[in-house]
Amino acid sequence: MDIVLTGTGSPLPDANRAGPSTLVKAGDTHILVDAGRGVVMRMAGADSLPGFLAAVLITHLHSDHVCALNDVITTHWVMTQGKVRLQVYGPVGTAQFVERQIHALEPDIGYRIAHHDVLTAPPEVQVTELEPGDSFTVGDVSITTAATEHSPVKPTIGFRLEHDGASAALVGDTIPCAGVDELARGADVYVQTVIRRDIVEMIPNEMIQDILDYHSTVIDAAQTASRAGAQRLALTHMVPAPTPEQYPEWIARAADHYDGEIIIGDDLTTISI
């Protein structure tokens, strides 16, 4: 299974980091987790495209994680000539979000149906809303869910994907909690969105300070990885985004709390497990 960090950015615009998303390739089964800014461009860089997706999994409806879902929907629709239904899984609220996306796309949908004989109907998106603890399969990938903690954002869920003896926990934005521990337990890789508390605390901006209470810090992520016995910890959605010269310091901070391999994500970093 290949875990491709298709977007390692955050809401803060960054020339080199697309918004949060991760692409899992389990053999021919491609599964996208979240759909942040620029995701379709990065999928192309990862030798994938929306038309290849067996499913899109959504952790929560914060804009940075879903703002490019409309691009995934449209590109999937056009490239499959409207013949394939896009499968989307997410927390309660996802169905309404998708319905509204399609509503917003109505002018475009109308233009394309009028212009292309092959397109005869709007994009078909099948949304399955999940409760924490639900499990299901996509192709031969087994997926389990658990509640994460990103209050006041509710509901939020994380995922564990298993294929051919390999396992990956992709949990989105969350503070440490029992659900993340469960998903990351013994995982080959645990991918966590993180912030640096020590740096964020020095930024004199009230809205930036607000992020401190609902994200894992680098140290939190390392402690979770250690407690859960994960084999590798991959950091993504880093706030503030480090430059490559700063990576060793970020890794050292995590290594104080975790003995496994620590990976700092660049866009298109691929973790093979």
Instruction: Give the nearest distance from C-beta 272 to Zn ion in angstroms.
Output: 25
The residue annotated as part of the active site, out of 64, 173, 188, 267, is: 64
Part of the chain binding Zn ion (CB under 5 A), chosen from 63-71, 81-89, 159-167, 180-188:
63-71
Examine residue 62 and tell whether it contacts Zn ion (CB under 5 A).
Answer: yes
Structure tokens at 175: 């503070």
Distance CA 18, CA 128 (A): 26
Instruction: Give the nearest distance from C-beta 213 to Zn ion in angstroms.
Output: 12
Q: Which of 30, 37, 61, 64 binds Zn ion (CB under 5 A)?
A: 64
Distance CA 35, CA 12 (A): 15
Please report which residue ranges of 37-116 form alpha helices under DSSP H: 39-45, 63-66, 69-79, 94-104, 106-115
H or E stretch covering 228: helix 218-228
Examine residue 181 and tell whether it contacts Zn ion (CB under 5 A).
Answer: no
Instruction: Give the nearest distance from C-beta 235 to Zn ion in angstroms.
Output: 13
Q: List Cβ neighbours of 224 (8 Å cut-off, separation of 6 or more).
A: 176, 180, 181, 184, 190, 192, 216, 230
Structure tokens at 109: 């949908």
Residue list 154-173, contact with Zn ion (CB under 5 A): 173
Please report which residue ranges of 80-166 form alpha helices under DSSP H: 94-104, 106-115
- The nearer residue to Zn ion, 188 or 220, going by C-beta atoms, is 220
Give catalytic status of residue 256 as yes or no: no
Residue list 78-137, contact with Zn ion (CB under 5 A): none
Instruction: Give the nearest distance from C-beta 225 to Zn ion in angstroms.
Output: 19
Which amino acids are annotated catalytic?
64
| Interaction site with Zn ion (CB under 5 A) | 62, 64, 173
